[in-house]
């Protein structure tokens, strides 16, 4: 998978992110960091019903997604963050599948970047 395809499929802004970070290699490097612990922490906190930890993880995910130009992920994480900020775990549980879906899509795309030949 190409970086361009990953951003197109994930509803992201690759051009803006490349300009902000100074090149595609840097974007790829930071994407590897995104695929790390934040989503796992969110998943665990949501599973445990821990509003405080889920809020922190969702808020971090929102910020990282914004910095990386992953607009759909940012929007989904932002909506989830606001439900958690209000302490509304019922709404958060209803919103979480959208966040999980886009995070999995991006993480799978990131995994394909590593060994992928140019498409």
pLDDT at residue number 114: 63
2-15 residue pLDDT tens: 999 999 999 999 99
Predicted pLDDT of residue 119: 41
Q: What is the pTM of this model?
A: 0.85
CB 14 within 8 A of CB 70: no
**What's the rounded Cα separation, in Å, for the pair 49 and 53?**
9
pLDDT in tens, 68-84: 999 999 999 999 999 99
What 3-state DSSP class applies to 50? coil
Sign of the Cα pseudo-torsion (17, 11, 34, 67, in order): positive
The mean pLDDT of the chain is 90
Distance (Å, whole) CA 118 – CA 29: 18
Q: What is the mean pLDDT of residues 51-78?
A: 95
* Residue with the larger pLDDT of the pair 35 and 84: 84
The two structure tokens encoding residue 14: 């690759």
| Nearest Cα residue to 7 out of 36, 35, 33, 28 | 28
CA-closest candidate to residue 104, choices 80, 70, 78, 79: 70
- Using a 10 angstrom Cβ sphere, with 0-12 exposed, 13-18 middle and 19 or more buried, the burial of residue 19 is exposed
């Amino acid at each position: 998978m190409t970086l361009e395809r990953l951003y197109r499929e994930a509803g992201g802004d690759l051009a803006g992110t490349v300009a902000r970070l100074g090149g595609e290699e840097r974007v790829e490097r930071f994407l590897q960091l995104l695929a790390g612990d934040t989503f796992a922490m969110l998943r665990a906190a949501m599973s445990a019903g821990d509003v405080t930890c889920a809020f922190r993880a969702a808020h971090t995910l929102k910020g990282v997604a914004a910095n990386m130009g992953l607009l759909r992920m940012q929007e989904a994480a932002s909506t989830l963050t606001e439900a958690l900020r209000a302490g509304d775990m019922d709404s958060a549980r209803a919103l979480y599948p959208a966040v999980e879906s886009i995070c999995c899509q991006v993480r799978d795309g990131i995994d394909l970047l590593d060994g992928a030949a140019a498409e």
